[in-house]
Structure 1
Amino acid sequence: MFDAKLQTKPAVRMQRSRGAARAGFSGARLTGLHQSGSAKAILPRVPGSPEVVFLNTSGGLTSGDTLSYQTELDAGAMLVATTQAAERAYRADDGPAQVEVRHSVGSGCHLDWLPQETILFDRAKLARDTTISLASNASCLMLEAVVLGRAAMGEQVRDLQFFDMRRIERAGKPVFFEPFLLNSDILAKGPRSTVLGEARAFATLVLCRQGAEDAVEPLRAVLDEPGVEGAASGFDGKCVIRLLAQDGWPMRRQIIRLFNALRRDQAAPRVWQI
């Protein structure tokens, strides 16, 4: 008999993206800037408060990709941080992509964290962890918006693993804590699901500052964009707005109207207007 060996092909090692970008401000002065891998931080010239635009040059996220964005504010800094375009999470055949967002907002500072929407494609796997740490007298406005596929392309999302952890802390104590899970089992329930119903786009906008409750009624007055369901509530120095929509475009219009109501002295970030 002849000896025989089982011939096997070595596993293909797929290339993965790694990216980290960080910006620091003291007052209106840039004090630190770091960028590596696929993550970039762009500093456009804008009137008013400084603006940081984060960018993922890999074009999207899939299994094993890691991405990190971070800002640090002190000495009364007022910063607008956003993303250059919608982030995309594509089909993943292995573990999830990992995204970490960390913002440190020092005494007397304010941060607007206004990333553009995240688009989740069928079979995407994404784990994201966002934490905003506020000093006792700091404030912030935080947005998270998600769209399930592209309606104009006829895309349907049926298989998904998405875990999104959102935290806002003040002086080390949590003031907003929201772990959000959306997976294939929940999507399979369709309109029976208490999470989304028939919506394929959703967003949460949170304002944390002294007197944030006073913003509830003005915001409710503009929650009338066709094709979008919205609600606002306020308590204990917070105002929370929830949105559900059939598509990302009407939701985006509603978000910009909310920006205009909350940020009367500033237009929406320039990249949102393109």
Structure 2
Amino acid sequence: MFDTSDQIRMQRSQGEASAAFAGGRLRGLRQQGSAKALLPRVRGVPEVVFLNTSGGLTSGDRLSYATETDARMVATTQAAERAYRADHGPAKVSVRHRVEGAGWLDWLPQETILFDRADLDRETVISLGPEAGCLMLEAVVLGRAAMGETVRALRFRDHRRIERAGRPVFLEPLTLSAPQPRHALLGAARAFATLVLCARGAEDAVAAARGALTVPGVEAAASGWDGKCVVRLLAADGWPLRQQILALMAALRRSAAPPRVWQL
């Protein structure tokens, strides 16, 4: 479908950013290339805000984010990540989080917007210690309805994994690859998201999650089993999806305020 030859050599974006905390205090910060890790001044739980200064992703771009913590931490992105037309191979994104001891991570990136003919490979891995927990969000929008954008073709491979003590406890490989991409479960929806709460007893949060599924225009369901609560969302556009995600954040984070960048 796409020309992946190397006849055209264009400048590519590469970036790596990581932050490590111990006892709630910063002990390591690394930034390189187009990736930045911002540390806003907030009370209580530390926040890490990742930023891709290149403005989006296309063929040959490489982006890497990582965190480590042994206490509570929130990590997010400053804005929606954009994957643009890519005619010469995929952009690649790697996300690695390690939560040790009895630590907790809220990984709450803003949505990924896939434009027509985007080509993106992404892998997200959250490694939990035996007593650690996390809340993981992934949200995707197929073009911006308000701008009249139509996604006619794309390649998107998104591999998400949560592991505890080295063993997978949640594994979700997603692939969208075709002209007029429509996953079997998407129907007419052009925005979708998954939230995963992973901790001992997380299945007990299903009632709270279902009680928060009140935003019109969003089709949603929640289920819980074996230390997990998983919520899946479908919407015709990114705006109602975002409002529903914010409602779920409040329900699953015990009314804690969303990260500051989500409030703008």
Shorter-chain TM-score: what band? Answer: over 0.9
Give, in angstroms, the shift of residue 266 of structure 1. Answer: 1.7
User: How high is the TM-score relative to the length of structure 2?
Assistant: 0.96
1:13 to 9, 27, 44: 9
1:270 to 251, 260, 264: 260
Distance 1:140 1:201 in 2: 23
Give the root-mean-square deviation of aligned CA atoms.
Answer: 1.2
1:165 to 156, 159, 170: 159
1:254 to 217, 238, 244: 244
Equivalent position SS for 2:240 = helix
Distance 1:269 1:61 in 2: 24
User: How high is the TM-score relative to the length of structure 1?
Assistant: 0.92
Give, in angstroms, the shift of residue 264 of structure 1. Answer: 2.1
Give, in angstroms, the shift of residue 195 of structure 1. Answer: 2.7
Give, in angstroms, the shift of residue 186 of structure 1. Answer: 6.7
- Counterpart of 2:141 in structure 1 is 147
Give, in angstroms, the shift of residue 147 of structure 1. Answer: 0.1
Give, in angstroms, the shift of residue 11 of structure 1. Answer: 4.2
1:132 matches 2:132? no
Contact 2:155 2:178 in 1 (8 A): yes
What amino acid is the match of 1:103? H
1:63 matches 2:62? no
What amino acid is the match of 2:153? D
- Counterpart of 2:220 in structure 1 is 230
- Counterpart of 2:171 in structure 1 is 177
Distance 1:195 1:213 in 2: 23
Higher mean displacement: 176-185 or 236-245: 176-185
What amino acid is the match of 1:55? L
What amino acid is the match of 2:127? S
Structure 1 stretches lacking a partner, 5+ long: 1-9
Map 1:233-244 → 2, pairs under 5 A:
233-244=223-234
Distance 2:24 2:234 in 1: 36
Q: Which has the larger radius of gyration?
A: 1
Give, in angstroms, the shift of residue 262 of structure 1. Answer: 1.1
Structure 2 stretches lacking a partner, 5+ long: 1-5
CA offsets, 1:32-59, max 9 Å, x none? 0000000000000111100000000000
What amino acid is the match of 1:202? F
Distance 1:239 1:21 in 2: 29
CA offsets, 1:169-196, max 9 Å, x none? 0001100000000111572xx5xx5231
Equivalent position SS for 1:81 = strand
- Counterpart of 2:198 in structure 1 is 208
Query: How much identity, in percent, do the aligned residues show?
Result: 69
1:42 to 38, 57, 80: 38
Equivalent position SS for 1:147 = strand
Distance 2:137 2:7 in 1: 40
- Counterpart of 1:112 in structure 2 is 106
